[in-house]
Structure 1
């Protein structure tokens, strides 16, 4: 691009801001990106938007990189985002239309002014990719179980500092492989050798769902983009489903947190979407008010070169399982079932209940929420229950499909049935695949170990083992199965409809 212009030395609300203008005299629609990850990393993205006629405003959030102030994750983004929108609309090169865009934490920055600011300070459309909805939403599962590894990694890299060290937790784990086993977990900053006061404060947040509650009152278009293997996959889908604006579109594929740059199991050639081009086309239609009202979009069927309409859900079907071992097992926090290892120990007392299906007689297309129900009891006043579904492929590989958890407290009642949601699965399972269902008391280090004493797992200084008993005859695995010929769609057509 030869005629773009960068507006130097810009400070919006005192925050460091870059402005990139496209060719021509304008005025232009604008894209606002607010990030804690260094605005200079977005230069290529900004040039891409500018090449297609958008002015681009990229800002370091308060207290990060070149922006002054104190960094308090999730606290100031609504007011600072509204100030940026207000300033942007007053610029001579702006035509007044603003798209707020971002991924992960930057998606949070895009969402909150749209949902919390006064109408005149809201963006006109929101593009939220792999959105982090809030502190409590990222820190805990809906049942309250703590997401340890991901939050420790993020806080070690970015918490209470103006810059980032993306490898901070990996470096600390190299020096001390047992870093996350030391108690209490609230004192992790001491072991990292850092002053990190916001770490302990994070675990006091229990107010999940605040943005989702406000999303019902949204009045601007949304494009929500996510990955089936992204830790925020369920939040992305929930945001789309709850959005009350004039148009809501969803695009999800077999990707991780980095989307198309992080393909996961089940990714195929058809899932290599040019997201940049699609974003531009959607933004033009959203800002022009040319999108069909209502909810729509597309989801990729992992394991097949196939896209489905976003609202596609299969019919729940019960998959018959037979127990292998562990109807009685011990959930021992000193020997937890690990989230990063699908190997089942062949010796020693069982650490999980293990069930398996017969080989699938034909390919199975699964799309929608997976659910397990069972009767089981724990011999401790507090117990976490994890259900992990693993595909045992005909080639002999084990692939994780889904994980869910629930926290139960109170007296053990072996007659009480309860359920565990394992999230949404959109995947073609080939003929010959067997499904392994693991029921365990831990999923470490992805999740903190329940001490089984009733204490807060983040503050506990003592752990005890928990005897578990599962009525294997009561275990029901329900998969949402699509018809023999699922409805195909084109993702661009669905997003731009």
Structure 2
């Protein structure tokens, strides 16, 4: 039976609880620091140990077995340095340590790379800071996932069995909770100082993002910013990392161990759709798109709905609160970011522009390929140019297809409703309708020239 040990690590007035699952032979170690309960990672730890990696799982400060106050993102860097030194001092590895984590734990892994020598970092569906999780890169405020996370975890030493009550429709959003750091979340800058430092890190990185993960764009930014050898894998999965339908029936751990066995010495970028691993992309020049409906009214009391990637958008076919543009395309595989540019008019000083891209399939369905949300300042009534990047997308487009681009004013409840008053969506108490008109529209599509390969083998090469 694999040995399991319990330890306590003193750090800055707190006591950090650690569980160690040793491998049969001396080799590298994996460090996982989590706010979700270290014993919930025991199966993962045993999986690492069976593959020759001693696994150390630590509850972050103020959560589960660790004492102190849980202040999201406040202490993870300094605590990570202490834990890493403790791991080396206690001879748990042959000197090689991989920092590994998903979601919040991915942030813990990333900042540990700033504090000590690591053999590699694995950051999956990373949630990389307060401002980074609160708002989209385009400025729109996230709603459902932030209310849900803070209701379950904010200001608590463990996950709440009964989350704090909240309403997706209540205004203002800023007053939804009185839990510590909730106000700080909305006041945080969109990008922290962390990003400047990440450009100096030489450690090998495996960045794993999901086409249906809300934080996908920051996974791309992480891979672009990181200086060391970087492997980027984007697959058709959500934040829960259920990859069995896309990685030849294997779980995400197979990808991790394949990479950790031989982390690369060079950069490599791999984009994964539901069927393909695609490495070469040619971006087509912008294509004007035919508008079949140009004018609409964005009504925040009946906001345009958000849908997951892959959902058949025929469910919203009868809605009038969006513009629609279509473009005929040849067969091929789209893999990457879709650039969209519109010239448009709004009667509000501040407006959200939502873009949903779908493909019309031979069976009549319209599965969503990707979406984007951009918050834009306007001079009411005057035309302005709005640009966005949809996706990245990963999809096979059949012959004789059309792409459908919907342009709307809300993406609710995934994102907060823009009030059209110039007030930040998280502070709004008044909601007004907004008239919109799309004058021109163009798309630049990322067509892949790559050949399908087996992703796990490719990453482990």
How do residues 418-457 of structure 1 correspond to structure 2 at under 5 angstroms? 418-457=386-425
Instruction: Judge conservation of contact 2:76–2:111 (CA < 8 Å) in 1.
Output: yes
Deviations 1:99-137 (A, max 9, x none): 11111110100000212x2xxx34331111111111111
Instruction: Judge conservation of contact 1:363–1:429 (CA < 8 Å) in 2.
Output: yes
- SS of the equivalent of 2:187 reads coil
> Aligned residue pairs: how many?
453
2:297 equivalent among 330, 334, 356: 330
Instruction: Judge conservation of contact 1:297–1:495 (CA < 8 Å) in 2.
Output: no
Give the superposition deviation at 1:466. 1.1
Instruction: Judge conservation of contact 2:125–2:208 (CA < 8 Å) in 1.
Output: yes
Deviations 1:214-242 (A, max 9, x none): 22100211111122221122222221222
- SS of the equivalent of 1:53 reads coil
Instruction: Judge conservation of contact 2:288–2:441 (CA < 8 Å) in 1.
Output: no
Give the superposition deviation at 1:320. 5.2
Deviations 1:350-395 (A, max 9, x none): 311122234x5x4221122101111111111111111111223221
Counterpart CA distance in 1 for 2:358 and 2:259 is 36
- 2:430 corresponds in structure 1 to 462
Instruction: Answer yes or no: is 1:147 the counterpart of 2:142.
Output: yes
Counterpart CA distance in 2 for 1:69 and 1:21 is 27
Give the superposition deviation at 1:273. 4.0
- SS of the equivalent of 2:284 reads strand
- 1:176 corresponds in structure 2 to none
- 2:174 corresponds in structure 1 to 186
Instruction: Judge conservation of contact 2:32–2:100 (CA < 8 Å) in 1.
Output: yes
TM-score of the two chains, using structure 2 as the length reference: 0.92
1:257 equivalent among 220, 234, 239: 239
Q: Residues 210 and 433 of structure 1: is their aligned pair in 2 closer, same or farther, counting only changes over 3 Å? A: farther
Instruction: Answer yes or no: is 1:6 the counterpart of 2:4.
Output: yes
Instruction: Judge conservation of contact 1:82–1:122 (CA < 8 Å) in 2.
Output: no
Give the superposition deviation at 1:319. 4.8
Instruction: Judge conservation of contact 1:389–1:400 (CA < 8 Å) in 2.
Output: yes
Counterpart CA distance in 2 for 1:167 and 1:298 is 40
- 1:19 corresponds in structure 2 to 20
- 1:299 corresponds in structure 2 to 271
Counterpart CA distance in 2 for 1:143 and 1:58 is 35
Q: Residues 93 and 469 of structure 1: is their aligned pair in 2 closer, same or farther, counting only changes over 3 Å? A: closer
- SS of the equivalent of 1:314 reads strand
Counterpart CA distance in 1 for 2:58 and 2:10 is 8
- 1:49 corresponds in structure 2 to 48
2:366 equivalent among 392, 398, 403: 398
Give the superposition deviation at 1:36. 0.3
- 1:59 corresponds in structure 2 to 58
Q: Greater CA deviation, 235-244 or 404-413?
A: 404-413
Q: Which runs of 5+ in 2 are unaligned?
A: none
- 1:351 corresponds in structure 2 to 321
Counterpart CA distance in 2 for 1:228 and 1:188 is 29
Instruction: Judge conservation of contact 1:89–1:97 (CA < 8 Å) in 2.
Output: no
- 2:195 corresponds in structure 1 to 212
- 2:355 corresponds in structure 1 to 387
Give the superposition deviation at 1:412. 3.1
Give the root-mean-square deviation of aligned CA atoms.
2.3
Give the superposition deviation at 1:487. 3.0
Counterpart CA distance in 1 for 2:300 and 2:251 is 44
Counterpart CA distance in 2 for 1:229 and 1:410 is 30
Instruction: Answer yes or no: is 1:235 the counterpart of 2:205.
Output: no
Q: Which runs of 5+ in 1 are unaligned?
A: 174-178, 190-194
Instruction: Judge conservation of contact 2:235–2:271 (CA < 8 Å) in 1.
Output: yes
Deviations 1:436-457 (A, max 9, x none): 2111111111111111111111
- 1:168 corresponds in structure 2 to 163
Instruction: Judge conservation of contact 2:140–2:416 (CA < 8 Å) in 1.
Output: yes
TM-score of the two chains, using structure 1 as the length reference: 0.85
